[in-house]
């Protein structure tokens, strides 16, 4: 078995356009609901930005809710990665959703992708880019 075969597909999405299980590789994985985090999109200064922007990242990173939420997701994902690698699985999907798929889910997906890239192959997809501000 080659543990390097595993690819982790990481998605950000809007719950308005949530992916169906049939769309996800092998029909499943994790879906984390970022709507429990403070929403930068409710503040005028962040509306034209996304989770790719440093200002939004700092806003979320500095909330009391982000670290416990994100760290809990990482623990579950890393445990499953180890299991999947030991069994020779090739895919794991991790999806982060929020209201618009622009701020919270994007930041979480990006942060997880950066965290995992040194250990597994990562494919990162932001599903709502067509609805983002025109600068992207």
Structure confidence by residue, pLDDT tens digits, 5-31: 899 999 999 999 877 666 665 656 899
Phi, psi of 11 (to 5 degrees): -120, 145
Residue 44 CA, distance from chain mean position = 24
CA dihedral 126, 111, 39, 45 (to 10 degrees): -90
**What pLDDT score does 24 carry?**
61
Higher pLDDT among residues 18 and 88, named by residue: 88
Structure confidence by residue, pLDDT tens digits, 45-65: 999 999 999 999 999 999 999
Cα distance between residue 130 and residue 68, in whole Å: 30
pTM greater than 0.85: yes
């Amino acid at each position: 078995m080659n543990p390097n075969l595993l690819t982790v597909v990481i998605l950000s999405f809007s719950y308005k356009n949530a992916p169906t299980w049939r769309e996800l590789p092998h029909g499943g994985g994790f879906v984390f609901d970022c709507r429990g985090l403070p929403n930068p999109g409710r503040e005028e200064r962040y509306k034209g930005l996304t989770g790719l922007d440093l200002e939004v990242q700092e806003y979320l990173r500095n909330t009391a809710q982000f670290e416990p939420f994100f760290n809990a997701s990482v623990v579950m994902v890393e445990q499953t990665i180890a299991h999947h690698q030991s069994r020779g699985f090739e895919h794991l999907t991790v999806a982060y959703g929020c209201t618009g798929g622009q701020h919270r889910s994007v930041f979480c997906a990006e942060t997880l992708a950066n965290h995992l890239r040194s250990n597994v192959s990562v494919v990162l997809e932001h599903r709502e880019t067509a609805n983002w501000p025109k600068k992207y």
